[in-house]
Amino acid sequence: MLNFKINLNEIDKIGKFSKEEKDFRLKNLNYFNNVGFPNKKQEDWKFSDLREIVSKNFSKLNIKSSEQEKSKINFIKDFEHNYIVVINGRLTVSDFRFEENDKIKLKSFTNNDFADRKENNPLINLNHALSDKGFFLEIEENYKFKKILVIYNLFTNDLNEIILNSKNKIKIGKNSELHTLNLIINQSEKNFFNNVYENVVLEKAAILKNICVQNNKSSGYFHKYSKHELSNASNLTTFIFPSGLKFNKLDLEFNLNGENCECNLQSASFLNKIDHQEIKTRVNHNSPNCKSYQKVKNVLDSESKGIYQGKIFVKDVAQKTDAYQLSKAILLSERSEFDSKPELEIYADDVKCSHGSSSGSLDKDSIYYLMTRGLSENESVELLVNGFLSEVIESIKSDSMKNFLKKKLADQLNGYKKN
């Protein structure tokens, strides 16, 4: 077994820092080194023993390497868009050709929040200690983007036994609106770990619609912690379409801080082989009259494992909360596994909260019906799985985006073979 404690002088290799920052990084690295990669003894990680996964698949973890900064990108041709290119976590180029450029600020991320918080998730400490890249995007007040912003997140083929730590922040000003497509393109066939800390801030009446798509399967191990802050009357919609990775954990926190805000999270995943994917959410209803909606759909084949841990917290002042949570899973193989842990913690009395969870195999009668119409068993399964997952896509308004996502899903399911 490997010892994944990280030497304190690794921090000096990343860069030169002020005393305050250096202390912050050291403190966080010490936190991490005390706990290490989380294992299933920790409540939040009981379905994802990361320590085991890392020690099984990595012989070492480099912090700093001289990975590529350039790579060829196949830009999307299906629709016009602005773009940002992020390579291995580092911001490289951007193009806002459809927008008023003075309304947009984009730069490499520099952290200046060195407050000492004991994080519950050691990977956040690790990120605080070692993060050396990422971007900060800020949209001024009263500006509505005319075209979608595509964030191309590229991982180059020379990544190997390395851990990348990056921090991103997106801030949307009062009454402004942004739509993004976060496209993760992975070219590495070797093992690497990507650890992201993300902070999304929506000011009053701001709107963010975000679609996150993993373009392809890969050997990446991904962890992302994402913290969303919503002010009065703001509106956040997130769609997540993962491709299935050996490890992918999304730890998403939504703070509904202002009144009348709304957050909507939907996800559709097709997992196979030994994919391991966890979506963990925490929705904090901190104010009255807010709405939250979550729908997580998974189809699992072979020996894949899917997890959904969803917690809804309603503070005593958050009256008239309307919170909804639904998880549905289809297991195509007896060796696949789906775990779901819904949790409600409610301190207000006038609230509407509901959650539901179901998992099971595909309906045999449906397969029979389709086969009597000439479709093979595999084709029938493919059609049913596609139907189950594309329901999430159907709720996206833009037709060009819908078609784009349907194509991606079809590629993923193409030539489904029952094992």
Write out the residues near another protein by the rule CB under 8 A. 363, 365-366, 368-377, 379, 383-384, 386-391
How many other CB atoms sit within 10 Å of the CB of residue 250? 21
What tokens were used for 194? 């990507």
Q: Per the structure block, which two tokens stand in for 333? A: 């193989």
CB of 333 to another protein, least distance (A): 19
Q: Do the Cβ atoms of 251 and 121 come closer than 8 Å?
A: yes
Nearest approach, Cβ of residue 335 and another protein (Å): 22
- Give 3 or 372: the residue with its C-beta nearer to another protein: 372
In whole angstroms, the minimum distance from the beta carbon of 362 to another protein comes to 11
Tokens representing residue 314 in the block: 């309603």
Nearer to another protein, 97 or 407 (CB): 407
Q: Closer to another protein by CB, 85 or 413: give it.
A: 413
Is the Cβ of residue 130 or residue 370 nearer to another protein in the bound state?
A: 370
**How far apart (Å, rounded) are the C-alpha atoms in residues 296 and 269?**
8
Smallest gap, in angstroms, from Cβ of residue 25 to another protein?
A: 48
- Shortest approach of another protein to residue 409 CB, angstroms? 11
Return the number of the residue (333 or 366) whose C-beta is nearest another protein: 366
Paired with 144 in beta bridges are 177
Q: How many residues appear in the chain?
A: 419
| Minimum distance, C-beta of residue 89 to another protein, in the bound complex (Å) | 36
Residue 22 near residue 30, CB atoms below 8 Å: no
Degrees to nearest 5, angle at CA 341 with 336 and 344: 160
Helix (H) or strand (E) holding 30: helix 19-35
The smaller minimum CB distance to another protein, of residues 290 and 381, is found at 381
> Positive or negative, the Cα torsion across 380, 397, 313, 356?
negative
Amino acid at 200: V
Q: Which CB sits closer to another protein, 168 or 359?
A: 359
CB of 76 to another protein, least distance (A): 24
Give the CA distances from residue 196 to residues 29, 205, 237, 348, in Å, rounded to whole numbers and listed in that order. Answer: 16, 27, 20, 33
